[in-house]
Amino acid sequence: MTDGSVSPIIAFRQVNLWSDTHGHVLRDIDLVVAKGERIVILGPAGSGKSTLIRCINRLAEHQQGQLTVCGIELGNDAKMTRLVRQQVGMVFRQINLFGHLRVLENLTLAPAWVRKMPKKEAEERAMQQLDRVHLTDVAHCYPGQLSGGEQQRAAIARALCLNPQVLLLDDPTGALAPDMVKEVLDVMIGLASDGLTLLCVTHEMGFAKAVADRVVLMDQGQIVEQNNPHDFFDHPKNKRSKEFLSKMVGN
């Protein structure tokens, strides 16, 4: 957590969000994230995990409270939202590469359009990120020629091409076959050691234990517990935390 002497890179202050279909989705969220901190968010289905991280780049719009990202308060100002999105990369559960474009073209699209980056520079950066996720050999393939794990690693590389300050991972292994999960987790562990500010929604308990600076548990739209991995997994304080862990890891 932040020590108060440095401005946090992300700060939720009493954030609430309602939706027409799901009612009160986020309830009085207070969460402060320091630059370079690695946060893993756990919780049962429907607890608000994905909505929480989607608020950070305004894919979900909170109606009450204050949310500041990279020093910018997010609200109804579209210009401020665009500025934040240039600093925040996101990887989704469902791999959303453009099937009609080669992998390299998928990666150079945003730098060319958003940053007006020259083609050569965009391609050099894309190759650097593909190397980071061990995929340089598929740069000129189409997504359909890749395995699910390779596609998700390419999606991670694409999110890194704008050199974001914050990377959001929304259950990136959730749609993968079991034999492909490890290759994506290995890449995520590598990213966590690179100093990126990382917020990851996942069901992978081993990843949370190995990588997180802080584990956050959500239930019914609320943060019910947050702690370092050792204390969270070995000494949970909240009854709902204990119930969740007993189901997930058999404690």
pLDDT value at residue 192: 83
Q: Give the pLDDT of residue 106.
A: 97
Give the predicted TM-score (pTM) of the model: 0.92
pLDDT at 144: 96
Within 13 A of 168's CA, how many CA atoms are on the CB side?
24
Query: What is the per-residue pLDDT for 113?
Result: 87
Per-residue confidence (pLDDT) for residue 95, from 0 to 100: 87
Question: What pLDDT, on a 0 to 100 scale, did the predictor assign at position 193?
Answer: 81
Contact 90, 57 (CB under 8 A): yes
pLDDT value at residue 1: 47
Torsions phi, psi for 70 (to 5 deg):
55, 40
Q: Determine the pLDDT at residue 7.
A: 81
What's 138's DSSP letter?
G
pLDDT at 158: 96
Q: Alpha-carbon Rg of the chain, whole angstroms? A: 18
Nearest CA-CA partner of 198 in 233, 159, 235: 159
User: Which segments within the chain are labelled E, that is strand?
Assistant: 10-19, 23-33, 38-42, 64-69, 72-73, 88-91, 166-170, 197-201, 214-219, 222-227
Mean pLDDT by 10 residues, the chain (251 residues): 68 97 96 96 96 97 97 95 94 92 96 89 96 96 97 96 94 92 92 89 93 96 97 95 85 43
Domain regions of the chain by residue span: 97-163
Q: What is the pLDDT of residue 19?
A: 94
